[in-house]
Amino acid sequence: MPIRTQIVGWGGYLPRKVVTNNDLSEKLDTSDEWIYSRTGIKQRHIAAEGEVSSDLATIAAQRALAKAEMTPDDVDMIILATVTPDNTFPATAARVQAKLGMTRGVAFDIGAACAGFIYAASQAKNYIETGYAKTVLVIGVETFSRIIDWDDRRTAVLFGDGAGAVVFKGVEDNGDALSRGIISYEIHTDGRLYDILRTQGGPSETSTVGTLTMDGREVFRHAVGKLVDVAESLLKKANVTIDDIDWVIPHQANARIISATGERLGISPEKTAITVDKHANTSAASIPLALMEMGDKIKPGDLVFIEALGAGLVWGGMLIRW
Ligand code: UT7
């Protein structure tokens, strides 16, 4: 019998410290009005000194496993999406594996920036449906506060720290009408656009971590067009229409990108998750954190579409029957 990749648990963690737009405007030439009207962001969470990505990720993972009524011993594989690892190497996933108390399995990182969760979830599907793993823990985690130039108002106001985790489990497809699980995904990369969103510096180029720079307008322009294309392509291949979608969980970079994409696709805002106001852009963590915020609003059998675009450029979408 074919195997389907189902979501059986999810959870998230946000650092305790909250920084509002007004807090930022005390140090930067910016304002709550500018930030909110251009991005929809009101506040962001920032990791405490000494609190690292693996700390955030471990708590999110524990919450997702509790929701799934599973223990770390049930996990065969951890795929952790991040571009802000604890160290250049080893993989942060290995540290999370140890912090969870796991003594077997495989753990590795994926660096696909803001599309990291979709890249990682697509790998979970591949490993599960080829029979290599039964239970895969996918984590998206970032501590962008550590790679931000806090004197650059164009980028400092946009990002936040956080972690989200989802437990995927392989279940035999019993042929019922719902056929719950990941239906399909698409992931894309266009490295010609490497420079429009990147860190200036990095271990190999400058022996430093580097700080983030972005041509915001260019990223915005590519985001709307590419996300609409990916949605239309996935819907067509799955033989469903936009009206069949119950929930859209977009990457949370900017409320204007989310609404422009939604308008072009004809999705009602009531079906669309918005957390950018509270979390800002948490990169790979934003989709699983939004899933956490949706809570039990999503019902078994609902059709869910997730989509994201980020540095690379990388982008993609995924259709899931909840
Ligand atoms: O996760 C994927 C990665 N990121 C994204 O998806 C982000 C995509 N891009 C965006 O969200 C938007 O382009 C931004 C929010 C980054 C910027 O909005 P914009 O409407 O494209 O503004 P802009 O960059 O064209 O800047 C307009 C003006 C500039 O002033 P001048 O040159 O017109 O005098 C900026 O210097 O706004 C100024 N500005 C600010 N003013 C107050 C830029 N940042 C700020 C700020 N506060 N924080």
pLDDT digits (tens, 9 = 90+) for 188-218: 999 999 999 999 999 999 999 999 999 999 9
Which CATH number characterizes residue 277's domain?
Answer: 3.40.47.10
d(CA 314, CA 110): 12
The reply to whether 306 and 221 lie within a common domain is: yes
Q: Is the CB of 166 under 6 A from ligand 1?
A: no
- Separation between Cα atoms, residue 179 and residue 50, nearest integer Å: 44
Does this model's pTM top 0.95? yes
Q: C-alpha 289: how far from its chain's center? A: 8
- Binned at pLDDT 50, 70 and 90, residue 245 comes out as very high
What residue's CA is closest to ligand 1, atom 39?
154
Are 185 and 164 contained in the same domain?
A: no
Q: Atom 26 (ligand 1): residue with closest C-alpha?
A: 154
155 pocket-lining for ligand 1 (C-beta < 6 Å): no
192 and 166 within one domain: no
Distance 287 CA to ligand 1 centre (A): 23
Are 67 and 207 found together in one domain?
A: no
In 3D space, the residue among 106, 112, 74 whose CA is nearest the CA of residue 93 turns out to be 106
Q: Is the CB of 226 under 6 A from ligand 1?
A: no
On the question of a cis peptide bond just before residue 313, with omega within 30 degrees of 0, the verdict is yes
- The count of other CB atoms within 10 Å of the CB of residue 128 is 25
Residues 258, 129 within the same domain: no
The total of structural domains in the chain comes to 2
Is any atom of ligand 1 closer than 6 Å to the C-beta of 217? yes
Q: In this predicted structure, what is the pLDDT of residue 176?
A: 67
Q: 34 CB less than 6 Å from ligand 1?
A: yes
Atom of ligand 1 nearest to the CA of 157: 48
Query: pLDDT, tens digit, for every residue of 38-63?
Result: 999 999 999 999 999 999 999 999 99
Phi-psi region of 53 (alpha: psi -120 to 50; beta: other; left: phi over 0): alpha
Question: Do 36 and 143 belong to one domain?
Answer: yes
Query: Contact, 319 vs 303, CB < 8 A?
Result: yes
Atom 14 in ligand 1: residue holding the nearest Cα = 216
Q: Which domain holds residue 159?
A: 3-172
Domain boundary among the residues 172, 195, 217 is at 172
Q: Give the Cα separation of 276 and 158 in Å (integer).
A: 9
Q: What is the pLDDT of residues 165-191, one digit of tens each?
A: 999 999 998 776 568 999 999 999 999
